[in-house]
Structure 1
Amino acid sequence: MTHTDPEARKPRPDYPPKTPPPPKRPPNPPPPQTELDTGRTLGPGSGRAGRTLMRNRRGATWPLEAQPWSAGRASAQVSDRLKDWGCARPDALDGLVRHLVGAAVADGGRRVSVHLAEENGHALIMALSHQSSDALDDAVLPQLRDLGAGSCGSEMTVDGRQVWVLLDLAS
């Protein structure tokens, strides 16, 4: 073959390699709206129904075994966290946290969790039993009031019983 031969001018069949074009993808749907976007409780069908979100405040959570000794551990952890945040420790704190956790442990689940949030000199402490039950113990709330809770409450959710207190850290 010579350079003038038409066969010599053709590229070789293996150069450049022919690759198919990438498949066209449909546009991605918008991401689902999360609690970070709304700052509210998510509704049914969202996969995280009934869970609330804290925004613009400090918070901490401790998962614990549902054992009698968990109340002492939770009290120490809440007290230490408030100290780390530079908050005053109310005298009633130890008794309140122990009673909250004790009520959650009494529900009979395998685990409990303690949640703490602080904002503007107030602390919200909540114990979650992770055990559904048909009955709420009505004696828990008056006992929490007697121990020094500013506000308190209890409710049954899909995640179990929530018992909470609101404390004024300035007093």
Structure 2
Amino acid sequence: MSAEHRPEYPARTPSPPKRPVRPPQPARPTSDTKPKSAAPAPHGRARMSMINRRAATWGLEAAPWTAAKASGAVVARLRDWGYPATDRAARDLTALLVSTAVADGGRRVSVHLADQDRQALIVALSHRTGLTVADETLLPQLAALGAVSCGTDTAVDGRRLWAVLDL
């Protein structure tokens, strides 16, 4: 005769989750579903986009040392991409663009770099709002440093300064 075995404690059950289970996130739009047109931004200026090329971006504090740091980063990235012969021109152009953006008086500066067809695009964005006057002496200085094309525009969100350099 076998005696039925009864445990002296209740069966162990898993504890409930500490956080409720979140439903799955909706699918993000892919590049196939994004519109191909450059729609103007809310402030009236078309957004900058660099598509189908190598690119790099740095967000920096607007400080006196920012131009040197950005110049070094741009030259290092161009070397990584196989363009070592343009170190001086890239360094000088980046330093001038960034120091001009820092002089706008904003709290931060963004530096963007892209390459295509043996040319580099270097862009500095100052994020100071309310700028209305553009510096007219900047473009001849950029051209003297080796820029094959350059420009600047001012909008509600700050000033965009750019230069194209042959590599």
- Would you say same fold, with TM above 0.5? yes
Question: Which residue does 2:49 correspond to in 1?
Answer: 53
Superposition pairs of residues 142-161 of structure 1, within 5 angstroms: 142-161=140-159
Q: CA deviation at 1:147?
A: 1.3
Confirm or deny: 8 A CA contact 1:35 1:53 kept in the other structure: no
Residue 134 of structure 2 aligns to a residue whose secondary structure is coil
Q: Which has the larger radius of gyration?
A: 1
Matching residue of 1:94? 91
Q: CA RMSD in A?
A: 2.7
Alpha-carbon deviations, 1:95-149, whole Å to 9, x = none?
1110000110010000001000101100000000011301111111111111111
1:34–1:138 Cα change, 3 Å: farther
Q: Is the 8 A contact 1:50 1:158 kept in 2?
A: no
2:70 aligns with 74
Q: What is the DSSP-based 3-state SS (H/G/I as helix, E as strand, rest coil) of the residue aligned with 2:106?
A: coil
Partners of 2:142 and 2:32 lie apart in 1 by 31
In structure 2, the residue matched to 1:65 is: 61
**Residue 129 of structure 1 corresponds to which residue in structure 2?**
126
The farther-off stretch of 83-92 and 96-105 is: 83-92
Q: Report how far residue 65 of structure 1 moved.
A: 0.6
- SS of the equivalent of 2:34 reads helix
Cα 1:108/1:43, change in 2 over 3 Å: same
**Cα gap change, 1:104 to 1:37, in 2 (>3 Å):** same
Aligned letter for 1:43? P
The alignment of Structure 1 onto Structure 2 pairs a total of residues equal to 139
Aligned partner of 1:144: which letter? Answer: L
Report the equivalent of 1:114. 111
Deviations 1:13-60 (A, max 9, x none): xxxxxxxxxxxxxxx9xx889897234422356x99732322110001
CA 1:77–1:153: 2 relative to 1, 3 Å: same
Note closer, same or farther for the CA distance 1:34–1:50 as it changes in structure 2 (3 Å cut).
Answer: farther
TM-score, normalisation: structure 1:
0.72
Unpaired runs of 5+ in structure 2? 1-25
